Structure 1
Amino acid sequence: MSTADLRARVRALSLEQKVRLLTGADFWSLHPEPAAGLRRVVVSDGPVGVRGEAFDERSTSANTPSPTSLAASWDVELAHRVGRLLAAEARRKGVDVLLAPTVNLHRTPYGGRHFECFSEDPLLTGEIGAAYVRGVQSGGVAATVKHFVANDSETDRMTVDARVDERALRELYLAPFEHIVREAGPWLVMAAYNRVNGTTMTEHAMIEEVLRGEWGFDGVVISDWFATRSTDESGSGGLDLAMPGPESPWGQQLVDAVRDGRVAESKVDDKVLNLLRLADRVCALDGAEPPAVDAERPEVVLRHAAAAGFVLARNDDDLLPLNTAEARRVAVLGPNAAAARTLGGGSASVFPPYTVSPLDGLRAKLGGDVEVVHARGVRSTELLAPASPELVTDPEAGEPGLAVRFLDADRAPIGTEHRNSGKLIWMGSFGPDVPVEAVGFVEVRGVLRATEAGAHRIGVAGAGHFTLAVDDRPLIDGVLELPGGPDPIEAMVRPPHRTAEVQLSAGQEVEVVLTHRVEADAIGTTFTLGLENPALPEEDELAHAVELAASADVAVLVLGTSDESESEGFDRDTLALPGRQDELVRRVIAANPRTVVVVNSGAPVLLPWAQEVPAVLLSWFPGQEFGNALADVLTGDAEPGGRLPVTWPAAEGEPLPSPLPEAGALDYAESIHIGHRAFERSGIEPAFWFGHGLGYTTWAYQGAEVPTAIATGEDLTARVRVRNSGLRPGREVVQVYLSREGEVERPAHWLAGFAAVDAEPGEEAEVAVRVPARAFQHHQDGAWRTETGSFTIHIGRSLADLPIEAEVKVTE
């Protein structure tokens, strides 16, 4: 639809009608406006699925690999396929706008939301992010690139002032946004909570001067939820949409500001025009039908995508792939073996229709010819697992699950639900027939039937007042409090908790009742009824795991983190694995040297035993097909295709930046030196370098054709010849880095281009790697500049393995 037609629709609206469109109708939708031909528009969180309007296990969503996993594939075509799958999911759920991808950088692995971002490198982030956006928008669903900008940690994230020098801002933190805007044309960009150099991002001049002015962005700038904090300043700036609604600093306040001349009505018109342009793009005007999305089967895409992101960090004596013909007994051990971790915490979480654990995946793959034994060994989490239908029955419906009642302030019932999980979240609504303001209490009931005798652990996690009773016997009654002044989302992602034990005999049935008093001013209501069967003391569990490892031909040890330690809302205070997992590794290795360690975390963790283990496989949070993909890779049916998108540190501290602000400010003192740049600058050796990943074959770099000179502003193409020198077909990611000695301060190396190639054993192939002109530039005195003279081109398979060098001279 033409801009002229859209402007005519804007002119047809009164000021009040226009301003009404600029704040959400509720938590997840925008107002319809019949006078403009506009229907209701629905937004949803991402990026690892499309949750929809309900944070609810009854509304399942395909769970894709985490962004760190997707970036580890270094595969732009795969990112496009995943984006297209998400578009199909969005259409299935009636969603028009996906609030993804997150393209903030891995400034530090201590960042709590690290798993939700692609990489430490702006080029890799931009390339994968652009492909993701193109995939989503090819299905007529809007992608939202977030969080603009320097929203790279979680501590005090709503108020922190990120103090970033101009060069770092342009060359690192703005760079992926610029690449995606120019190359993929996203339909929305989200303004972050934080301030940058003193100004909150929802009011920042960069929205109009850089995003719109320099880069030509013509979409909607949406606020992060509750990030709009002013009327006049944000109303006069480049922000278009304040979320959520219906309350915000806009509304009648913005109408008054326009009437009083503090905000120009033309600014309001521009914002409404951008919204109508978005509506046109997602087919929300005049009853338009969205395009059909011919997406692949989710399980096929997700299984392939998970394996493509697995990084084989170490493989001594070619332990992998496993020789299953010689294995008769495999021990699958560790806290993440039977309870796969596929999600970090916070708004990026979804409820998948199923999750294949490593244990289930290996049992299915190995079949009846191989005995698969299992032990958890140690715990990796503090919170109890949510009550599940396998453990409790809804006393009202008489079926597996829980009964939920919404009660008013006098405890009179006003609504009911049947739920399949003890993890309960309501954001802005308790359902269509339950008025939010009427709910005083939420009551959850379930009948527990003990399948074995012993101490059953029952508890609650959440903020506020709770009572928990078993057969009318009170176990917990009191207020669980968050620390003072936390991010509100912390009640969901890292809640206070309390646990009790109940001794039950096998077959005994008891009724469990949890009641929560709803706070009138709460943003949402979220809590968990936890329930676990009796377990061995941890020392006995650990000993049992070691015993099984010793009895097996090979041990597969699945360790990692969970949403308790990696989440929106807080930063990590350590990179160490939770609990006694390091001890478990060392004791299992001592019992069975043929051990594969699978590290199931969304971000780097410390691996102090890495050089003692023959095989280390980094799996990230790989989505719902985790177990199947892992079985494919361990048995050699698929190659671990990943290369590290982030440098993996060997120890805490230097040269890793802190995510913790001081006096409200976070100083990016490292400037352009983050990730591998910081390690090279400091001379500290990491555990694994950026770009590292082994695969199941070997590669010989035969040579490269590189121009000896290029003109300023000209792209360069390096033609690289590689040969698969191993015995298996494989995929190689050819990486090109630049370096230069000169007057301008630079990193020791920086990524300038990459491309993948597939080859059969013994086959030679040529791959063309484009190096954009921007790779030769630096930002200085408000402009992009090219330093003429010689640059060194380094070509290889990771930052630590660059066998080919060439010189190129940049001329005027």
Structure 2
Amino acid sequence: MTDAVPVDPADLPTERLVRLLTGADFWALHAEPALGLRRIVTSDGPAGVRGELWDERDPSVNIPSPTALAASWDPGMVRGIGGLLAEEARRKRVDVLLGPTVNIQRTPLGGRHFECFSEDPLLTSRLAVAYITGVQEHGVAATVKHVVGNDFERQRFTADVRVDERTLREVYLQPFEAAVTGAGVWAAMAAYNSVRGTTMTENPLLELLRGWGFDGVVMSDWFAARSLAAATAELDLVMPGPTTPWGSALVDAVADGRVPREAVVAKVRRLLRLGERVGAAGPDATPGVEPGRFAPAPTPERAAAVAAHLRSATAAGFVLLGNRPVAGAPVLPLDPAARRVALIGDHATHPRVLGGGSAFVFPTGVVTPADGLRAALGDGVRLDVVAGAPTTSRIGAPELADLRVPGADRPGVEIRFLGDGDRELGRVERTSTTYNWNNAFGDGVEPARLRAVEARTVYRAATSGRHVLGCSGTGRYRLLLDGVVVLDRQLALPVDADGVEGLTRPPQAGHEVELAEGAEVDVVVRHDVDPERRTDDMLIVPLQVNASRPRPDTAQALRTAEEAARAADVAVVVVGTTEESEGEGFDRDELDLPGAQDELVRRVAAANPRTVVVVNAGAPVLLPWRDEVAAVLVSWLPGQEFGSALADVLLGVVEPGGRLPMTWPGDTADPIPSTVAVDGVVHYSEGLHVGHRRYLRDGVRPAYWFGHGLGYTSWAYEGLVVRPEPAGVAVEVAVRNTGARPGREVVQVYLARPESALERPARWLAGFAAATAGPGERVTVRIALPERVFAHWDESAGDWAVEPGEFAVRVGRHADDAALTATVAPRPQAVPSG
């Protein structure tokens, strides 16, 4: 920083302007003292704020995944979570949060389904506005992403999305428009894919952002910028850097007139505006943001407040899909008279609290379902925790308690960075066994000199039997046990795999070894740095140390689970996905639960009629046993307070507050769009009929409709008033709590136009609001339907239009419910253009 008066960007040499438009490194932007601009730091973080150091030494508060947040149907709650993320960003000295992801959940097969909000554009838009507002009102920039059509992972760098203009406007662009017009988002990220033949970093569709009033920075997704052509489009910033397709090539293009210098200056002005908004430029700029400036200082009291906040938000997103009576009463909430509970499943002790890839952070701590129930049940109830059936054949991450730093009596792993001739460049101790170095290897370790990385630890067998020790990554890996090379393998991703898959589900190799309980073995995993993976300024090195304790025979594990269920008053089975079945960098091939989990549920349900299944997954999975169990509760990827929130819901301290933000398929015959490109093209051939709209069009009944969810009370819909107003239509709905306890109901309004002259969805979500009431209480909620929800995109006019005449109004609890109906003709008026 400098005390001098900042100069005008137009007065800077072209070389210094262009330097600002490319990242300084993997996460940060260049400083420019002449402009009064300090370094700006970005961070991944849809489920938390990672910061620049991506490891356990700088843990992050892990919030519920976006699907879990969306399941709350509660913009106010999501806004509060945005504020928590901003607090975390400031604590980690982050200026720009790379989220939210507002791509539409076109298909549950999408690998990053859990990172998006919903299949519905209106619900996505409402929640995106809340999220962005919550982040930015605390001085941190949100980044709406990925513009546009990045609803799949396979071939995302090369695939071309073909979608008609009306569908693009009414479905896929609507959340981006809302982020600009409803929240004034400060940054946007251009996607990897192409749309209609042009890659998004160069696509004219980015001009729509400016047309909606966007005055922020458009950045590339990481490594998405392909060429100099993006410089004449709306792209402002190429990430990461410093080597990008711009650099000296852009300087030369300005010099010879191929790129107007004014365009470069305009990009820098937008970047400077971003700096002013986040406190990196202007009179309020600081050399680095102190933790106390926008964020409370980290104290035990603050940590407890954050935990309570997350606990409440997590329970608000749990969706109760079914809760049938057993012996005359619903099984949930659990009977207080129950004296013995069986908690079954690998996810009960090793839950998935977040997804892999850009959404991954190292949580500050995780409350497992076993932890939460044990604390809540107390000494008067016996809790039997049983592993259940294996969920994966992969070698897992070892328990930290099983590892010791060589030559020391403390848990962990010693990492050595080696140069030519194995000369040690540096070393560090770690308590994690998953490492992803993005050009930052520690003090004194220069990427250009790095030749190999070694992870050394002492593995102590917790039980007798056949243990599997191994490693994961891409490239050459060697595994040495007690100094003997037992593996020397070149690990590679499948042909045409996305590179991020090497981080989320990397190839691995293992070696079985028979160990007695307490036996120790020296473990060394060595990775030789591949010279072909190097660039002049970027070296990404992945490495995992893997170890799995002896696994029980599946048949025996199922019998043990049955016995535990039979002996208990109630059985709670926690099932879910694994890191290899959903994550960034790959799409899903199927929706089945991995491993023998379906068989586990069926065996437990047969042994105990009071069986509750908790589904720990970020996206829909098939539930073929759903009519065989007493209750099904979806917990999503719920963040670090999973166990505490789960105990609250199961015991009835709070009711499950969620409703499905997407349709839940029934079986493999359901109308599920593919993510696979054909001849390089992904055809969005379903058009407007995304998610529940496609089920309605095709007359197919899913397992559970969009919007479905139960609470612990019952509701009656008793009155509906619909009237046109100057700004749209007002809907008033009277509902009564007919149950015995307080509750929350999400009242949903859908529109239909049965006699339309143009193609439309059978019905579409137009508005929603929550009603809270005590037993017997009647309340009225008011839902405003703006003119825009009646409008369609008129391709011939290139604008929004409302078809004259009446629309059907359906009010109910989900997309196929019609508790109350009416008709209305909105007053003609100019529709807000976009």
TM-score by length of 2: 0.94
Q: Secondary structure at the match of 1:700?
A: strand
Pair 1:605 & 2:621 matched: yes
| Aligned residue runs from structure 1 range 236-385, under 5 A | 236-286=232-282, 288-289=285-286, 292-293=294-295, 297-317=305-325, 318-385=329-396
CA contact (8 A) 1:66 1:116 kept: yes
Report what 1:755 is aligned to.
769
| Aligned residue runs from structure 1 range 15-34, under 5 A | 15-34=14-33
1:393-438 deviation per Cα after TM superposition (whole angstroms, max 9, x unaligned):
1115541100000001321110111111111111122123211111
Report what 2:831 is aligned to.
none
Find the aligned partners of 2:134 and 2:393 in 1 and give their Cα distance.
Answer: 38
CA contact (8 A) 1:387 1:423 kept: no
Find the aligned partners of 1:365 and 1:723 in 2 and give their Cα distance.
Answer: 32
Q: CA deviation at 1:710?
A: 5.3
Pair 1:447 & 2:443 matched: no
Report what 1:739 is aligned to.
752
Pair 1:767 & 2:769 matched: no
1:695-714 deviation per Cα after TM superposition (whole angstroms, max 9, x unaligned):
1111111102211x456xx3
CA contact (8 A) 2:333 2:649 kept: no
Q: Secondary structure at the match of 2:655?
A: coil
Pair 1:223 & 2:223 matched: no
Q: Equivalent of 1:801, from 802, 809, 817?
A: 817
| Aligned residue runs from structure 1 range 416-455, under 5 A | 416-455=427-466
CA contact (8 A) 2:91 2:295 kept: no
CA contact (8 A) 2:79 2:133 kept: yes
Question: Where does the alignment leave 5 or more consecutive residues of structure 2 unmatched?
Answer: 534-538, 829-834
CA contact (8 A) 1:306 1:622 kept: yes
Find the aligned partners of 1:350 and 1:10 in 2 and give their Cα distance.
Answer: 37
Find the aligned partners of 2:285 and 2:432 in 1 and give their Cα distance.
Answer: 38
Pair 1:545 & 2:561 matched: yes
Find the aligned partners of 1:388 and 1:407 in 2 and give their Cα distance.
Answer: 27
Q: Which amino acid aligns with 2:322?
A: R
Instruction: Tell me which moved more, 562-571 or 662-671.
Output: 562-571
CA contact (8 A) 1:163 1:665 kept: yes
| Aligned residue runs from structure 1 range 148-187, under 5 A | 148-187=147-186
Pair 1:211 & 2:227 matched: no
Taking every aligned residue pair, what percent have the same amino acid on both sides?
53
Report what 1:479 is aligned to.
490
Q: CA deviation at 1:802?
A: 2.1
Q: CA deviation at 1:294?
A: 5.5
Report what 1:199 is aligned to.
198
Find the aligned partners of 1:655 and 1:266 in 2 and give their Cα distance.
Answer: 50
Report what 1:570 is aligned to.
586
Find the aligned partners of 1:43 and 1:784 in 2 and give their Cα distance.
Answer: 36
Q: CA deviation at 1:352?
A: 0.1
CA contact (8 A) 2:342 2:564 kept: yes
Report what 2:41 is aligned to.
42
CA contact (8 A) 2:154 2:497 kept: no
Q: CA deviation at 1:506?
A: 2.1
Report what 1:11 is aligned to.
10
TM-score by length of 1: 0.97
Q: CA deviation at 1:484?
A: 1.6
Report what 1:687 is aligned to.
703
Report what 1:491 is aligned to.
502
Find the aligned partners of 1:490 and 1:375 in 2 and give their Cα distance.
Answer: 31
Report what 2:536 is aligned to.
none
CA contact (8 A) 1:43 1:52 kept: yes
Find the aligned partners of 1:807 and 1:783 in 2 and give their Cα distance.
Answer: 25
Relative to structure 1, the CA distance from residue 521 to residue 638 in structure 2 (aligned partners, 3 Å threshold; closer, same or farther) is farther
Instruction: Tell me which moved more, 86-95 or 531-540.
Output: 531-540
Find the aligned partners of 1:722 and 1:428 in 2 and give their Cα distance.
Answer: 58
CA contact (8 A) 2:626 2:632 kept: yes
Q: Which amino acid aligns with 2:198?
A: T
Q: Which amino acid aligns with 1:471?
A: D
CA contact (8 A) 1:596 1:614 kept: yes
Report what 2:544 is aligned to.
528
| Aligned residue runs from structure 1 range 587-606, under 5 A | 587-606=603-622
Report what 2:83 is aligned to.
84
| Aligned residue runs from structure 1 range 65-84, under 5 A | 65-84=64-83
Find the aligned partners of 1:608 and 1:304 in 2 and give their Cα distance.
Answer: 30
CA contact (8 A) 2:67 2:661 kept: yes
Alignment: residue pair count: 801
Find the aligned partners of 2:711 and 2:823 in 1 and give their Cα distance.
Answer: 30
Q: Secondary structure at the match of 1:30?
A: coil
CA contact (8 A) 2:670 2:702 kept: no
Find the aligned partners of 1:727 and 1:433 in 2 and give their Cα distance.
Answer: 66
Report what 1:559 is aligned to.
575
Pair 1:791 & 2:807 matched: yes
Question: Where does the alignment leave 5 or more consecutive residues of structure 1 unmatched?
Answer: none
Instruction: Tell me which moved more, 165-174 or 499-508.
Output: 499-508
Q: Which amino acid aligns with 1:733?
A: V
Q: CA deviation at 1:381?
A: 2.4
Q: CA deviation at 1:660?
A: 0.5
Q: CA RMSD in A?
A: 1.4
Q: Which amino acid aligns with 1:51?
A: R
Instruction: Tell me which moved more, 792-801 or 265-274.
Output: 792-801
